[in-house]
Structure 1
Amino acid sequence: MTVVYIVTLALLAVAGLLTLVRLVKGPWILDRAKSLDVLVVLIVAGFAVNMAMTDSVLTVPILVSTVLLGFVGTLSVVRLTEGRKEHR
């Protein structure tokens, strides 16, 4: 079972690196906001894999707070870019 956890964490790390490239390179602010949202989901998935590896539920508050911060951040970006014609 350890091999499955290692492969899963490696795939999440690769996805995180590709998401960081889009976060830095993205020409539009909405592309960057979307990639930041995907990065939050990848972080939550990494914590969930860690929870499954260690059989511990101590990281549940970290998961919930990270998801809520990502949600509030996405809503903030949408509210800021709502009335603009150009989203650069």
Structure 2
Amino acid sequence: MIDPMTVAAYGGGAMLFVGAVAALHRIVRGPSLLDRAIAIDVLLVVLSSALVLEMAVHRHTHDIVLVVLAATVGFVGSVTVARFVEDRRPEHMREEISLVPGTTDIPGSEDAPAEGGDR
């Protein structure tokens, strides 16, 4: 009789393989920097999951440091990319200006008449 842990390990490994291939496809194809960054983060999660699966099958915890390291690298990388992309938006400076009370530079607040009525 087949051990249920073996079946679960093969099933989990197959799903992780499919996830890794899909993430690699997204890294290569893009189309944007954010898509690639998310795919790299997914690939790190798949790697961590594969290490956890291997530790569960072989009943040891030798690779737990690698799992924590991959999680840390994924978090720091995601935050770094998010900050980089946030600063590159063209409307980024407009948002800071529009927060100042009394300014009229708020997008969409031009002196246009309201629909259905006249001023």
Gapped runs of 5+ residues in structure 2?
91-119
Does 2:88 match 1:84? yes
Does 2:45 match 1:44? no
More helix by share: 1
- Whose relative contact order is higher, 1 or 2, with alpha carbons under 8 Å and at least 6 apart? 1
Write out the 4+ residue segments of structure 1 that deviate beyond 2 Å after TM superposition.
none
> Normalization by structure 2: what TM-score?
0.68
Who wins on radius of gyration, i.e. which is larger?
A: 2
Identical aligned residues as a percent: 35
> Normalization by structure 1: what TM-score?
0.91
Aligned residue number for residue 68 of structure 1: 72
Gapped runs of 5+ residues in structure 1?
none
- Matched pairs, number: 86
Aligned residue number for residue 29 of structure 1: 33
